[in-house]
Structure 1
């Protein structure tokens, strides 16, 4: 298996747990507070590394304590940070996360992630062109995402685009990426389509891999709809479940597994990830994933 390259965001998550979510103007007493590494790109990189892949992270952090924490975490997790750009004029990105009532609410401040630009991609170009799979998200500038997708298309490198946070995407970008991994809300937002979700999946066979939370994943294989189930688990924190899916899905594809089996690996990993606190806290190893994969049916 070659290397997974992630071009994306790195941040620090400021996580509060609370029995209820405050409404506008309300103050509530929370239960716990944690400072943990996050960012969709970094989460996906760590998920892939924990599942046994060699991973290269391309991104940016500020010249501050949070930036040091991000880079230290990559070192601990075995993620190569050769192409992590230090930025002096912006702070490291942060995500403010409230976990309450069985779900999470997130405010993201991109900070240095807005500096993940074409110049940085050019520095990492040879690594990207040699990758088995490239992972992208939308917490960095859209122009950069388009630039990477174009480079990968020309180099025949498969691309997974996790379109979050969702925005309307140019049709040529959708065409160039190999797989899109939205949830239903994101699926409608990136296409500007409020129609029936099954009709949308039919238009993008084997491309839109639709995440449906505890229901698992659904896609259209050209002949029929395929549902790949999630595991039934006790949920502690759903933060990072989608990132875990994407990271492990990429690893399984890089190992040469067929699409349905690669999705199954991703679903199992995402299910296991929600059993512990923090986006990266519950990310499983490949050994743990294989124990639960079964025969993939």
Structure 2
């Protein structure tokens, strides 16, 4: 299977120790997919600083195709992270060159050679999703916890598999997933943190719990869930098994520092 991710990246810099880890939803999903055995690529912009070089080298070392990463004059995005126990607290975010991301005709041609394209709410790639759908690609998008963001209202007709973050299985999120799925997606999914995940395919809801593991750092848990879900999906597995695959991937990720 071949999956390409598009959009933002950032260096997650942990204040206490000063360690920097490559991250960002599209980057993380591409790396996790490669680890699961998929052929993955990442398309995005990094800066001409040391972090940009570090980002490309780290992604490439994980087996991800980096041939369409652009080094744009300026800074690579940085997120400051502090830890409160095993929970991360995100501080200042410098978007760097990501703010000006644009895809070239060559980028678009490259993306169209893949089966599925994934991006996220901070990726600046949403304008290309109507084209991706028109060209026959399957599409996935992470809206994170921004259920009230304008993109959560406008983009679902162009997204086959939208992912959201919420806190619990309640009437609000069930109605939300129904409404989103009714605007065009095949399956709408909500990850619920320690309460597992919920999905709706137009016919029924699916529930999946969590695996009990020693939590070290929750960074990347949602991204690895998406990768596990998509990997199982493209193998033709049913929804429940896709959710279980996502849960297993997330459980592995929260057992170590950094996203990967």
Regarding TM over 0.5, the answer is: yes
Q: Deviations over 1:140-162 (max 9, x none)?
A: 22xx3121x11221022111100
**Are 1:200 and 2:166 an aligned pair?**
no
Structure of larger gyration radius? 1
**Are 1:102 and 2:78 an aligned pair?**
no
Could you tell me the TM-score, scaled by structure 2's length?
Answer: 0.89
Query: 2:65 is matched with which residue: 63, 74, 80?
Result: 80
Runs of 4+ with deviation above 6 angstroms: none
Q: Which residue does 1:146 correspond to in 2?
A: 127
Kindly report which structure 2 residues correspond to 1:54-133, keeping only aligned pairs within 5 A, or say none. 54-88=39-73, 90-107=74-91, 108-119=93-104, 122-133=105-116
Distance apart, 1:165 and its partner CA: 6.8
State how far apart, in whole Å, the 1-side matches of 2:199 and 2:229 are. Answer: 14
Structure 2: tracts of 5 or more residues without a match: none
Preserved CA contact (<8 Å) 2:81 2:88? yes
Distance apart, 1:171 and its partner CA: 3.6
**Are 1:266 and 2:246 an aligned pair?**
yes
Query: 2:224 is matched with which residue: 232, 244, 262?
Result: 244
Preserved CA contact (<8 Å) 2:7 2:26? yes
Preserved CA contact (<8 Å) 2:228 2:248? no
**Are 1:230 and 2:210 an aligned pair?**
yes
State how far apart, in whole Å, the 2-side matches of 1:116 and 1:134 are. Answer: 16
Preserved CA contact (<8 Å) 1:139 1:165? no
Preserved CA contact (<8 Å) 2:206 2:239? no
Preserved CA contact (<8 Å) 2:145 2:164? no
State how far apart, in whole Å, the 2-side matches of 1:81 and 1:218 are. Answer: 33
Distance apart, 1:170 and its partner CA: 6.1
Could you tell me the TM-score, scaled by structure 1's length?
Answer: 0.78
State how far apart, in whole Å, the 1-side matches of 2:24 and 2:107 are. Answer: 20
Change (3 A) 1:49 1:259: same
State how far apart, in whole Å, the 1-side matches of 2:221 and 2:257 are. Answer: 11
Q: Deviations over 1:57-89 (max 9, x none)?
A: 10001111000100110221011111101111x
Distance apart, 1:127 and its partner CA: 2.5
State how far apart, in whole Å, the 2-side matches of 1:118 and 1:81 are. Answer: 15
Aligned length: 250
